[in-house]
Chain A
Amino acid sequence: MKKTLAVTLVLAGTLGAVATAQAVDVRARFIAANCSYCHGPDGKSRGAIPSLAGLEPGYFVAQMKAFKDGSRPATVMKKHANGYSEAEYEAMANYFASIK
């Protein structure tokens, strides 16, 4: 008996977008994963915090900038937005946009 393709497929299925995103920049994937304890696994939220999966990258980056400069009011997001660079906003925007 050895490891079968079926097992691999089952695993990939369970992990969803995380497993299929091999092509993406691994650092973007990691910093984006840091958001998921609030925004849900793969940016798919189970509650009142908005989902990030599938957001249009231009919209995503504009929101991050608006949190940072205070033009969009926020409870927590100003602190989180202040912790990342604009290049990182874009890398995360592209990562979340790629999740279906």
Chain B
Amino acid sequence: MTINRRDFLKVSAGAASLAAVGTLGGCASVQTGSAGPKVVVVGAGFGGCTFAKYLKAWYPAANVTLIEPNDHFTSCPFSNTVLAGINKMEDIELPYTYISKLVDTWVPDTVVAIDTAKQTVTTAGGKTFPYDRLVLSGGIELLFDRVQGYDAETQKTIKHAWKASRDQTGVLRQQLEAMPDGGTFVMSVPMSPYRCPPGPYERACMVATYFKEAKPKSKIIILDGNPDIASKKPLFLAAWKKHFGYGTDNSMIDYRPNNMPRSVDAKKMMVGTEFDDVKGDVINVVPPMRAAAVTGLAGVRDGNNGNWCTIDYLTFESKVAKNVHILGDSALTNFPKSGSVANNTGKMCAYALSEIFAGHQPDPAPVVTNTCYSGTGQGTAFHVATVFRWNEEKKSLVPPKDANGISAEESELEMAYMEAWAMNVWSDTLDLPADYKFTAKG
């Protein structure tokens, strides 16, 4: 028996979807939807969804299976605004309704095993999917065991909020709301490379925005593992000075470089660094991170001491496993780990595979770009933007002259552009319709 995509959709409501997926995955010989090469995508985040959408657009015969356990998308971009109280969790939660209809098979499950020799992927539900090409865009794995005391019990109190969800970002917001005026918020910045280099400094702006308005006697201590502000330094320093008294005796923000958190204690509400024990009323520690756990299953974490995945820049194929492609944050590249990059590299990989499937060579000189906006919480925003082009000498994608830089200053105009960026990147990634009603503000 074969099941086509339309029949699959008919039965995919509610509990029936699991049963249907079970039928599809249970038998390797079942052909669903398009008859072309089997492409299995793991992770419906910025990289995985964009890749799946553009591969279906540019090579419709590809048979695309997308595997993702969450029943909706929660955006990390704009999640810091939830901490400011500018948005609620529901404003950054978006549906998988459209992207799940666009792929041949949508599998609501978690990948638990990958056999790169047999070219199969197995899910927690016990289904096995064969692939011609495997695309891993699982984001990051957080390494709690690198911070002493950051065990499962402690994780109930101390949140990282570096993967946005109600249990992380939502709970951290509640903790900030419950904190008395005059309290201290202790937050950390992991060592580079990490997901979203400007994210922690934006987070400080957002929490300061909330404190300024609701708890003006409160303080923010930033424990940065890095020797300095890792992204858009002049712009963040200017914003902290302008809005939050940074550099004066009354500064709301106390920034401490070279202060990597080594331990956490949820009972004493304390973070230990090499130098000090820092007490906080609310503690937000982002542990060290590496490429998503699913890349470990495929044995492709070959770079940077076994933490990230090296790739061929022309195809995003792993350097150590054939027919396995790595997108988004998991890849070891010279691009920042951002949603914009995951979206763009998703297209690049879709373009390369559409060419390969059509019997052509992939483009020998591709281009990808990054732009990261950061909001101040004060109605203004600024950016860093870079174009990366193929460089034959370096065998890498590098910025050409003057195609890299930051805003001259924060502005309200860029806040409007940042909001537009969010709506456009969400629409582009999740295939949202033109009339989709967004509710997030910047």
Contact = CB atoms under 8 A, between A and B. Distances in A.
B33 interface: yes
A84 B436 CA distance: 32
Given A14-B102, A26-B351, A39-B424, A34 B369 contact: yes
A46 B438 contact: yes
A23 interface: no
Contacts of A82: 387, 400-403
B424 A75 contact: no
Contacts of B414: 75
B7 A1 contact: yes
A84 B367 contact: yes
A19 interface: yes
Given A37-B344, A48-B416, A3 B421 contact: no
A8 B60 contact: yes
B403 A2 contact: no
Contacts, number: 148
A70 to B, nearest CB: 10
A45 B351 CA distance: 22
Interface stretch (B81-89, B229-237, B246-254, B425-433): B425-433
Main secondary structure of the interface of A (DSSP, over half): helix
Nearest to B347: A33
B243 interface: no
Contact of B413 (A19, A40, A75, A84): A75
B348 interface: yes
A40 B427 contact: yes
A4 B34 CA distance: 10
B429 to A, nearest CB: 8
A46 B385 contact: no
A15 B402 contact: no
28 contacts: A1-B2, A3-B4, A3-B33, A3-B35, A6-B6, A11-B102, A18-B57, A19-B60, A30-B366, A33-B347, A34-B344, A37-B428, A38-B371, A46-B434, A47-B417, A47-B420, A47-B421, A47-B423, A48-B419, A49-B420, A49-B424, A75-B407, A76-B371, A82-B401, A82-B402, A83-B387, A83-B389, A84-B387
